[in-house]
Chain A
Amino acid sequence: MGMFVLKWAQKRLALAWSSDGKTTRIGMACLLTLFMTIGSFCRTRDTGAASFSIDLDKPFNEVLAIVDEVAHSGSIKGTFEYRGDEQLSGALFTEKSSLFPAWTEPGKVFYKIRTKALSPSHFLNSNDVGTVAVRYVVQERGPSSTRLFIDAVYIENARHHGHPSDGYVETCEFGEIGKLLKDREQLQALAASGQPLSPEKESTSHSQDRQEEIKAEVEKRTAHNNNPKSAKVADPPKVVEIDSAKLNDLRHAIAEQKSQMATERAALENLEAQARQMRASEYLRVRSERAELKVLPYSHARVVEALRRGQQVTVLAKSTYWYQVRSEDGEEGWISHNLLEVEP
């Protein structure tokens, strides 16, 4: 069969290649070029999970401040040039960028740009050298409701090809924003409990060890405020100078403070959990025969769990194409919104 097709093709081509087949040859070449040119301009471009969006039950100004801070962070999360790197450093904040269409809807827009990026990861069909841009749009929805959009795109310098993110960049950028929001929430809770915080700690930090830093600071401050002498506890040579009764009192006070701290922390976590449940208590169910719960919101991400039709999931967060959900087994992950339906 193969040989038959080959011989047929050879005959046709031989005809085109005969001495009187010049017109046919030119026609073939023109048609081929036309086909490829049209294809080049008209074919569907790379599709990716664009426009990460989420509604946050936070005041607009609070979210705006955090997003502004992340936009100034100097690095773009969720993408890298060299294997082993975790982010793209050298990014710059800007308020305008031609790499995205103009934003015409309400909201405050920020951009973070990294030029001369070398085939960055997590952008579909990434190639050559170009610019990575992240756009944040913060929209006020109500007194304590804010909508956040995040988009990331990579544009080649030479061919101006636009490569949308596979969703990972937006997710990681939001992860950073979420972490800072959580930090601020914790700090506010602690401040409300009557424990003053240092001014520098009131502004959130970029540190990855932020959580630990906060805990350490709170413990230090608590001990210091409630027992000024506690500073001496940390100074071994001076402890020797205190009599044993005073030392016992001091230890007792510290233990009390620690216990109080633990109680407050537990209460805070409980409140957080309640708040999270309240704002995301949306239940959907799986509509397809089999649906994959993934670690991250993109198609090639690792599968956490395979869900079956009819299984209920709790929605924790939403982007345009992907929902972050918790399954009945307690597993959390992302699932394409097409695979879910509202419970009857």
Chain B
Amino acid sequence: MQLCDAGSRKNHVSRSMLKSVLALVVLGLSYVTIGSQPSYAIPAFARKYGLPCSACHIGWPILNVFGQQFRDNGYQLGNEKDSPIYQNPSYWPITFRVTPQWHLESQTKVQIDDPTGNTPGTEQTVTTHGFDLSGLDIWTAGTLYKNISFSVLPSMGEGDTFHFENAWVRFDNLLKSPWLNVKVGKFELDTLLSEKRFLTLSGVGGAWFNYHFLPVGDSNGFGGIGDNQMGLEISGHNKNSYARYSIALLSSVDGNPGLTTTNGGIANPATARTYDTFINLNEGFQVGGLGVQRVGVYGYFGQNPTYYLTSGGVPVEGRGNRSFSRVGAYGWWYLKDLDIETLYMHGQDNVYLGNGIAVNDPAGLPPGAAGPSWNGGFIEAHYTYNPQLIFTGRYELVHMSRQANPTLAALPNLGNVDSFTIGYRWYPIMLSRAGLAFHNEYSQAKTGNTSVLSQSDQTIRSVMIGFDFDY
């Protein structure tokens, strides 16, 4: 058995390489977003209870107050309708969701190779477009027994293999109190401003940069609080779900099965041995006739290995774990038909993670190295003209407050993201049997100093026109 230095040689990686990596990450993120969009609206529940979709959704998939209460209560209404005798024998709680679409993706200042290979090439805008499909979600959720709920969501992208977007069992109302619920498995973190119930589906609009941001050059394998995670969650709420809390103990695997940890983009199965924590507290309060306003705070405190013990060259245990955190506050403000989500996030990674250096190689840290930190946030508005027509817009930014080393800091905007999205969804069909949304969206993001050749800002754009349906 020998120690393996995973990052000691990375401090000399050129800046252009880092930018390319970031560009690839952004594009990859776009692909992942399109390829496996999550689905969090369940016509199967409406079928089960004989309720209209509007009982739980302002507009699919955004939950209204009762919808949040229903979800917090383990997909139970809390009345006699939960009993199996009220269920149609042919009822089967499965929902399919897929989005046939036409979309356009464009990125400025992409390095185009010189066919001769004699020069570094040129920068050009690359645009692709065409008809496409989203990934397929097959979701089943409900109750196994009174106060035991579950969710299983196998998902796959086009030409992809299935993976579990989520799979969990939850023991609800323990000690006959809504304040004590325990969930085990892979699940969405209790983020009230949910990435899983959003209205933006395009490559850029669906990226949610704050929830997935990593600085340039960072080797942290954490994919962000937008990723579903593996672990155990204790949560609770008051009767109307205005006051809520959750504490989760999570494996440091970013939701990947097989105790897989990641460092510097390389995944190593069966190497995890540390845990992360996520805490979320929020409170709702009624303001006159405007609606229920919600405010909350959250924090994710995690660890990630910086190197591995290997056996026969194969990593067998993550070592040199170093910490990172994402903390912030948010609000969800209702002004009658207009609801506005606001989020602030502060992120920081340990200096070893930020520079991609193994802890057992402190000399590898460049002079002046520091743990990178950044601030970000978004403001997102939904205007519900009626439950069949919703307009949406989001402005999001992430700005670095400290780069991992002076070389990176020489570029003032490196890694910064400024993004906005506008769109609308029209639901010609929104029934307990099925939902169909005609989705139109335009989004664009500017990424700071990421072009390889000119080291200037790049802009990526997405246009999406699609039919988002579930059954």
Is B459 in contact with chain A by the CB < 8 A criterion? yes
- In the bound complex, do residue B66 and residue A36 qualify as a contact, i.e. CB atoms below 8 Å apart? no
CB distance from B438 to the nearest CB of A (A): 16
16 A–B pairs (Cβ distance < 8 Å), ordered by A: A17-B444, A17-B459, A25-B420, A33-B340, A36-B381, A36-B383, A40-B336, A40-B338, A81-B55, A118-B51, A125-B54, A125-B386, A126-B54, A128-B64, A129-B66, A159-B289
The residues of B that contact A33 with a CB separation of less than 8 Å are 340, 381
Q: Are the C-beta atoms of A13 and B444 separated by less than 8 Å? A: yes
Tell whether B58 is near chain A: CB-to-CB under 8 Å. Answer: yes
Question: CB-defined interface of A1-43 with B at 8 Å, one 1/0 digit per residue?
Answer: 0000010011001100101000001000100110011011101
Other contacts beyond A29-B393, A32-B381, A160-B289: 13, CB < 8 A: A25-B420, A29-B420, A36-B383, A37-B335, A39-B383, A40-B337, A84-B50, A118-B66, A125-B386, A127-B54, A127-B64, A128-B64, A159-B336
In angstroms, Cα B461 to Cα A81, docked, is: 44
- Residues on the B chain within 8 Å of A119, using CB: 51-52, 54-55, 66
Which residues of B326-354 have CB atoms within 8 Å of chain A's CB atoms? 334-338, 340
- If A40-B338, A119-B55 touch, whether A158 touches B442 (CB-CB below 8 Å) is no
Enumerate chain A residues within 8 angstroms of B444, measured Cβ to Cβ: 13, 17
Nearest CB in chain A to that of B65: its residue: A158
Q: Cβ of A128: which chain B residues have Cβ within 8 Å of it? A: 54-55, 58, 64-67
How many angstroms from the CA of A119 to the CA of B431 in the assembled complex? 13
Contact partners of A160 in chain B: CB under 8 A: 288-291
Q: Which residue of A lies closest to B456 (CB)?
A: A19
Tell me the complex Cα distance, A250–B64, Å: 70
Task: Please tell me if the beta carbons of A17 and B418 are within 8 angstroms of each other in the complex.
Answer: yes
Contact of A10 with B289 at beta-carbon distance under 8 Å, contacts A40-B337, A119-B51 already known: no
Q: How far is the CB of A190 from chain B (nearest CB, A)?
A: 42
- Among B335, B337, B340, B459, max chain A CB count under 10 A is at B337
CB distance from A253 to the nearest CB of B (A): 52
Closest to A38 in B: B338
CB-based contact A157/B336 at 8 Å: no
Which residues of the other chain, A, contact B335 by a CB distance below 8 angstroms?
37, 40-41
Judged by a CB distance under 8 angstroms, whether A83 is at the interface is: yes
| Chain A proximity of B331: nearest CB distance (Å) | 15
Task: Collect the chain A residues with CB atoms within 8 Å of residue B393's CB.
Answer: 29, 32, 36
Q: Say yes or no for A100: interface residue by CB 8 A criterion.
A: no
Docked complex: A42-85 residues within 8 A CB-CB of B: 43, 46, 81-85
Which residues on B sit within 8 Å (CB–CB) of A83? 50-51, 432
Cα of A207 to Cα of B385 in the assembled complex, Å: 42
B391 at the interface (CB under 8 A from A): yes
Residues on B with C-beta less than 8 A from A39 are 337-338, 383, 385
A83 to B49, CA, bound (A): 8
A33 to B81, CA, bound (A): 41
Q: B366 contacts the other chain (Cβ, under 8 Å)?
A: no
With both chains docked as a complex, state the minimum distance between the C-beta of B83 and any C-beta of chain A, in angstroms: 13
Classify chain B: how many residues form its interface, as a range: 35 or more
Query: Are A159 and B52 in contact (CB-based, < 8 A)?
Result: no
Query: In the complex, how many angstroms separate the beta carbon of B108 from the nearest chain A beta carbon?
Result: 8
In the complex, B286 has a CB within 8 A of chain A: yes
Write the chain B residue with the least CB distance to A83.
Answer: B50
Cβ-defined contact, A118 with B334, below 8 A: no
Whether B104 is near chain A, meaning CB under 8 Å from some CB there, is yes
Query: B54 touching A158 by the CB < 8 A rule?
Result: no
3 interchain residue pairs of minimum CB distance: A83-B50, A160-B289, A159-B291
Residue A121 lies at the interface, judged by CB distance under 8 Å to chain B: yes
Chain B residues with CB under 8 Å of A41's CB are 335-336
Taken together as a complex, chains A and B put the C-alpha atoms of A14 and B107 apart, in Å, by 12
Residues of A within 8 A of B292 (CB): 158-159
Contact indicator B381/A6 (Cβ below 8 Å)? no
* Count, chain A residues at interface, CB 8 A: 36
Q: Which of A9, A13, A157, A158 contacts B334 (CB 8 A)?
A: A158
* B319 interface residue per 8 A CB criterion: no
Judge whether A161 is part of the interface by a CB distance below 8 angstroms: yes
Bitwise interface map of B from 50 to 83 toward A, beta carbon under 8 Å scored 1, else 0: 1110110010000011110000000000000100
Q: Whose C-beta in chain B lies nearest to the C-beta of A28?
A: B420
Contact pick for A6, options B51, B104, B383, CB 8 Å: B104
B102 to chain A, nearest CB (A): 10
Chain B hits for A157, CB < 8 A: 65
Chain A 142-170: CB-based contact to B (< 8 A → 1; otherwise 0): 00000000000000011111000000000
Q: Are A82 and B50 in contact (CB under 8 A)?
A: yes
Beta-carbon contact of A10 and B461 below 8 Å = yes
Chain A residues within an 8 Å CB radius of B446: 17
Contacts of B387 in A (CB 8 A): 125, 127
Q: In whole angstroms, how far apart are the Cα atoms of A14 and B460 in the complex?
A: 10
Chain A residue with Cβ nearest B104: A6
Q: Which residues of B contact A158 (CB under 8 A)?
A: 64-65, 286, 291-292, 334
Query: Closest B-chain residue to A128, C-beta based?
Result: B64
Chain B, residues 402-440, CB within 8 Å of chain A (1/0): the string is: 000000000000000010101000000000100000000
Shortest CB-to-CB span from A48 to chain B, Å, is 13
Cβ of B58: which chain A residues have Cβ within 8 Å of it? 127-128
Q: Is B457 an interface residue (CB 8 A)?
A: yes
The complex places the Cα of A121 from the Cα of B104 at a distance, in Å, of 41
Do the beta carbons of A161 and B336 come within 8 Å of each other?
yes
Q: Is the pair A82, B290 in contact by a Cβ cutoff of 8 Å? A: no
Asked whether B225 is an interface residue with its Cβ less than 8 Å from the other chain, the reply is: no
Taken together as a complex, chains A and B put the C-alpha atoms of A324 and B422 apart, in Å, by: 47
Interface: B44 (CB within 8 A): no
Question: Is B463 an interface position by the 8 A CB rule?
Answer: yes
Decide: B286 and A82 in contact? CB cutoff 8 A.
Answer: no
* B395 on the A face (CB < 8 A): yes
Complex CA–CA separation, A157 to B393 (angstroms): 26
- In the complex with contacts A10-B461, A118-B66, A161-B336, A29-B395 CB distance below 8 A: yes
Q: What are the interface flags for B443-471 relative to A under an 8 Å C-beta threshold, 1 for contact and 0 otherwise? A: 01010000000000101010100000000
Q: Which residue of B lies closest to A36 (CB)?
A: B383
**Alpha-carbon distance between A32 and B382 when the two chains are bound, in angstroms:** 11
Q: Which of A19, A81, A82, A85 contacts B457 (CB 8 A)?
A: A19
Q: Known A6-B463, A119-B51, A158-B286; judge A82-B64 contact (CB<8 A).
A: no
**Known pairs A82-B81, A159-B334; A14 contacts B50 (CB<8 A):** no
Name A9's closest neighbour in chain B (CB-CB): B442
Residues of B115-139 contacting chain A, CB below 8 A? none
**Interface members, chain B 343-386 (any A CB < 8 Å):** 379, 381, 383, 385-386
In the assembled complex, the CB of A123 is this many whole angstroms from the nearest CB of chain B, namely 10
Q: Which B residues lie within 8 Å of A82 (CB)?
A: 49-51, 81
**Chain A minimum-CB-distance residue to B461:** A10
| Interchain CB contact under 8 A, B289 and A81 | no
Would you give the shortest CB distance from B260 to chain A, in whole angstroms? 38
State in angstroms the CA–CA spacing of A213 and B330 once bound together.
Answer: 62
Set of chain B residues within 8 Å of A13, measured between Cβ atoms: 444
